[in-house]
Amino acid sequence: MNSNYLSNEKLVAFLNGELSPEESESIRDWYAESTEGKQELEQLEQVWGLADRLTQMEGIDKKRARNNIELKLSAPNHKWKVFRLYFQKAAAILIFPILLLTTYVIFQKQDQNIAEQEIVAAYGTRSQITLPDGSKVWLNSGSTLQYGADFNRNSRTVHLMGEAYFEVQSDQSRPFDVVTEKYTVRAVGTAFNIFSYDKDEFYTSLEKGHTQIFKAGQQDQAPPLLKMTPGQRVVLNQEQNKLVLTNTNVSQYSTWREGKLTFKNTPMEEVIAKLKRWFNVTIELKDREALSYRYTAVFENETIQEVLEMLSFSAPIDYRIIPGKSRDGDSSSKPTIEISIKKSKDN
């Protein structure tokens, strides 16, 4: 078996007990190559076993539910039903930044009979999916994308928390709406990036096509706040609570989907925020004077220590990496990085 790839179909067949003993043993050996792999396999089998019990209790067609990565729970007393299925390549755990972790969460609202799907890229990972209309989405670390079962019927609407790059299939009759905490970006057939981890952070850059920006939820009731053409970027000015449109080299803002961490005259505060999400670490800034520093650099495949070492060459900073503390001897918490101003030899 290819040590770098295990398809979802193969994994599902393994968990269902549908593979030959030789194939099953090969998969177990693959996961056993690392401690993380062993733990991941145990978690997958536990989740799968739970699905068995749930489907028996609720009378669900297990095979159909799993093939569609969907669990429908129909008991009348349950308003919300949730099932989570985690797919993760154990071998990739040790290879940064190739690690991809996608979490599928499907739940059903009894009163509306609408199933909604949620895709999560955990911190320290990135994910790429294709939507039912053929549009492609790349999710950056710590991002969540949601869309309903009615997506691609009369409309195409997704909800984003975090950062994503979209390649939207053209369809003039059904605009593609990306709803964030504060704004909605409407497109038809375009390629663009959106950054919105919370309501006070928002920017979008357009590479192809045209987009319009509305206040969240008002895309069908009010005229757009702004219209964008390729090569433009819109940023929310937090102090003035105003969107600012500029012309720039927008390709630099989507290099993350290629595994590149890019800084271009980026302030220290933003550098820290990106490093925390990218490497899934905690960062403590000991000297606020360091917030005045700015960085320009591109990193690809470097470890967090290598990145910090390079950053320390261009500004007088020191850093200390504190390993995550063991929890019950089973797993470790996130490492903590302390950043401070480099002390002169005279002190």
Among 199, 227, 250, the domain-final residue is 250
Which residue in this structure is represented by tokens 């390629």?
191
Q: pLDDT band for 238, please (50, 70, 90 cuts).
A: confident
Higher pLDDT, 101 or 42: 42
Could you tell me which residue, 113 or 20, shows the higher pLDDT?
20
Residue 12 banded pLDDT, cuts 50, 70, 90: confident
Residue that has been written with the tokens 């357009």 in this structure: 206
Among residues 250, 283, 301, the one where a domain terminates is: 250
> Could you tell me which residues come within 8 angstroms of residue 320 by beta carbon, excluding any fewer than 6 positions away?
337, 338
Q: Determine the residue type at 90.
A: A
3-state secondary structure the chain: CCCCCCCHHHHHHHHCCCCCHHHHHHHHHHHCCCHHHHHHHHHHHHHHHHHHHHHHHHCCCHHHHHHCCCCCCCCCCCCEEEEEEEEECHHHHHCCCCCCEEEEEEEEECCCCEEEEEEEECCCCCEEEECCCCCEEEECCCEEEEEECCECCCEEEEEEEEEEEEECCCCCCCCEEEECCCEEEEECCCEEEEEECCCCCCEEEEEECCEEEEECCCCCCCCCCEEECCCEEEEEECCCCEEEEEECCHHHHHHHHHCEEEEEEEEHHHHHHHHHHHHCCEEEECCHHHHHCEEEEEEECCCHHHHHHHHHHHCCEEEEEECCCEECCCEECCCEEEEEECCCCCC
- Asked whether residue 222 is domain-assigned, the answer is yes
User: Residue 157 belongs to what domain range?
Assistant: 113-250
Whole-model pTM above 0.75?
no
pLDDT recorded at residue 315: 86
What pLDDT band is residue 127 in, cutting at 50, 70 and 90?
Answer: very high
> Nearest 5 degrees, angle CA 306-CA 310-CA 128?
55
pLDDT-derived band at 263, boundaries 50, 70, 90: very high
Q: Give the mean model confidence (pLDDT) for residues 120-135.
A: 92
Is the domain of 178 the same as that of 278? no
Residue 80 maps to a domain: no
Is there a single domain that holds both residue 305 and residue 283? Answer: yes
- Examine the domain organization and report whether 137 and 205 are in the same domain: yes
Beta strands at 336-341 and 282-285: parallel, antiparallel or unpaired: parallel
Is position 301 within any domain? yes
Percent of the chain with pLDDT over 90: 48
**168 and 225 housed in the same domain:** yes
Residue 190 lies in a domain: yes
188 falls within a domain: yes
Q: What is the pLDDT of residue 84?
A: 32
Once rounded to an integer, what is the mean pLDDT over residues 183-188? 94
**How far is Cα 256 from Cα 6, in angstroms, rounded to an integer?**
24
215 with 266, same domain: the answer is no
- CATH number, residue 219: 2.60.120.1440
Say whether both 224 and 146 belong to one domain. yes
81/280: higher pLDDT? 280
In a domain, 104, yes or no: no
With a cut of 80, say whether residue 41 has pLDDT above it: no
**Average pLDDT of the residues in 239-243:** 89
Burial zone of 95 (CB within 10 Å; 0-12 exposed, 13-18 middle, 19+ buried): exposed
The pLDDT tens digits of the residues spanning 300-325 come to: 989 999 999 999 988 889 999 998 76
**How many alpha carbons lie under 13 Å from residue 230 in its C-beta half-sphere?**
7
231 and 285 assigned to the same domain:
no
* Same domain? 234 vs 274: no
Residue 19 lies in a domain: no
What's the pLDDT at 328?
53
Q: Which CATH number covers residue 303?
A: 3.55.50.30
**Angle (deg, nearest 10), helices 8-15 and 21-31:** 110
Task: Report the pLDDT value the prediction gives residue 27, as an integer from 0 to 100.
Answer: 81
Q: pLDDT band for 113, please (50, 70, 90 cuts).
A: very low
Strand pairing report for 156-167 and 143-148: antiparallel
Residue 146 has pLDDT above 90, yes or no: yes
Last residue of one domain, picked from the residues 184, 219, 250: 250
Domain count, the chain: 2
Q: Are residues 159 and 183 in the same domain?
A: yes
Residues 244 and 297 in one domain: no
Same domain, residue pair 281 and 239 = no
Q: Are residues 211 and 308 in the same domain?
A: no
Q: Is residue 319 part of a domain?
A: yes
Per-residue model confidence as pLDDT tens digits over 14-36: 777 888 888 888 888 887 887 76
